[in-house]
Amino acid sequence: MQQADRIKNLPPYFFAEIDKMINRAKAEGVDVISFGIGDPDQPTPEHIVASMVEAVRDPSTHSYPSYEGLYSYRKAVADWYQERFAVELDPEKEVVSLIGSKEGIAHFPFCYINEGDLALIPDPGYPVYKTAVLLAGGQVETLPLKKENNFLVELDNISKESLERAKLLYLNYPNNPTAALATREFFQKVVKLADRYDIIVAHDSAYSEVYLEEEKPLSFLEIEGAREVGIEFGSLSKSFNMTGWRCGWAVGKEELIESLGRIKTNIDSGIFEAVQKAGITALTSEKTAAAEMRSLYRKRRDRLVTGLKELGWEVSPNQASFYIWAEVPSAYQNGEEFSRKVFQETGVFFTPGIGYGQQGDKYVRLALTVSRERTEEALERLAEGGIFS
């Protein structure tokens, strides 16, 4: 059978190969400690689970949900934006529910990308931006995120030609995998540029509540004029340990929300209403759960950064997200070589940065989704394995 070109041309999924390697080792009896998992290890907070249980018993949630999401859910998202970012949104026109933010991120290019149209995407970056644009028939140009520039896109380095051609710009702060935060000045520059060159900004805000220092991440929509050029994707996944529930949203310019909603009504039928009701609980209930989540990641980060430093590997502590984006020790060519060596010697796994783009070549990503006990065990094995000596 002949696959369609759009699938044939998709790059192979890098992480599928890695999963194979890890599973092979496990089958051989290796006790793997993986820092590769971008999924919270903690359960969803109990009060959210309880609200889901109640909603599931209510037969009114059992039918097809509304396409755009329950009004009460969209209202909860709008109220949360008001409280958290002082951004006012019309729940009817400026909010749409998503089956997890990935779903919206992946469908969005179908609304605005024609065959051959250009989208600008960060490198390193969440792989979905690229594949979604390619599936829609578009082309991508990567924008390097460099340490010297605090992993912000170097807007001045984008060629005039690319700016004139580009229809869409994906951004993601707090950033996966670099853990960088955007500044207000940066976002202001983005708005200016987008306005001038007529580029739609799609901001992925999946980690907005995963911040480990005082400074709270900004919403792109806080910036004056952002609403005229952009859409922002959000999610309960990382903020409330709800990755399995598939519950997110897109907010922003009415016209963009309407387009995304139109694509979605033709493809999916919305989020299970019981999940939306649990989502309302997550967004409106007391904020202790998110604070506990941050405190847990902060402790793990501090222990890991200190432990690695004692072994002779200095990594920068992440300010936000639950990832440490670490430059590989100079004795190694690149992240792949380093990751392979560490895994073979110790059964500890770090994700090679190249999986997120060319700029990640000299990096590995360490997810803080490993318990304290297992982190101690990993540090011991790294010391015994002589990885840094």
Ligand X SMILES: *Cc1c(COP(=O)(O)O)cnc(C)c1O
- Give me the residues that bind ligand X (CB under 6 A), please: 38, 100-102, 126, 172, 176, 204, 206, 235, 237-238, 243, 248
DSSP output for 222-265: GSTTHHHHEEEEEESTTTTT-GGG--EEEEE-HHHHHHHHHHHH
CA dihedral angle for residue 337, residue 338, residue 342, residue 343, rounded to 10 degrees: -40
**Nearest distance, CB of residue 97 and ligand X, angstroms:** 11
Comparing CB distances to ligand X, the nearer of 142 and 307 is 142
Bridge partners, 144 (sequence order): 123
**Nearest distance, CB of residue 101 and ligand X, angstroms:** 4
Comparing CB distances to ligand X, the nearer of 280 and 382 is 280
220 DSSP assignment: G
28 phi and psi, to 5 degrees?
Answer: -85, 5
Comparing CB distances to ligand X, the nearer of 149 and 243 is 243
Element spanning 98, H or E: strand 95-98
User: What's the one-letter identity of residue 177?
Assistant: P
**Nearest distance, CB of residue 102 and ligand X, angstroms:** 3
Tokens 């037969």 -> residue: 59
**Nearest distance, CB of residue 207 and ligand X, angstroms:** 7
**Nearest distance, CB of residue 259 and ligand X, angstroms:** 19
**Nearest distance, CB of residue 237 and ligand X, angstroms:** 3
Comparing CB distances to ligand X, the nearer of 238 and 253 is 238
Comparing CB distances to ligand X, the nearer of 44 and 346 is 44
**Nearest distance, CB of residue 121 and ligand X, angstroms:** 12
Work out the number of other CB atoms within 10 angstroms of the CB of residue 303: 15
Cβ(210)–Cβ(177) under 8 Å?
no
Give the whole-angstrom CA distance, residue 345 versus residue 33: 12
Whether the CA torsion 105, 111, 114, 118 is positive or negative: it is negative
Comparing CB distances to ligand X, the nearer of 367 and 379 is 367
Comparing CB distances to ligand X, the nearer of 162 and 243 is 243
What distances in angstroms separate CA 309 from CA 74, 299, 306, 331, 373, one per listed residue? Answer: 45, 15, 5, 16, 18
Cβ(93)–Cβ(74) under 8 Å?
no
Comparing CB distances to ligand X, the nearer of 101 and 318 is 101
Give the whole-angstrom CA distance, residue 46 versus residue 207: 21
CA dihedral angle for residue 241, residue 245, residue 246, residue 250, rounded to 10 degrees: -60
Comparing CB distances to ligand X, the nearer of 38 and 352 is 38
**Nearest distance, CB of residue 303 and ligand X, angstroms:** 23
Element spanning 276, H or E: helix 273-284
Q: For the chain, how big is the Rg over CA atoms in Å?
A: 21
**Nearest distance, CB of residue 176 and ligand X, angstroms:** 4
The SS3 of residue 91 is: coil
Give the whole-angstrom CA distance, residue 314 versus residue 326: 8
Comparing CB distances to ligand X, the nearer of 227 and 365 is 365
**Nearest distance, CB of residue 171 and ligand X, angstroms:** 10
User: What's the one-letter identity of residue 256?
Assistant: L
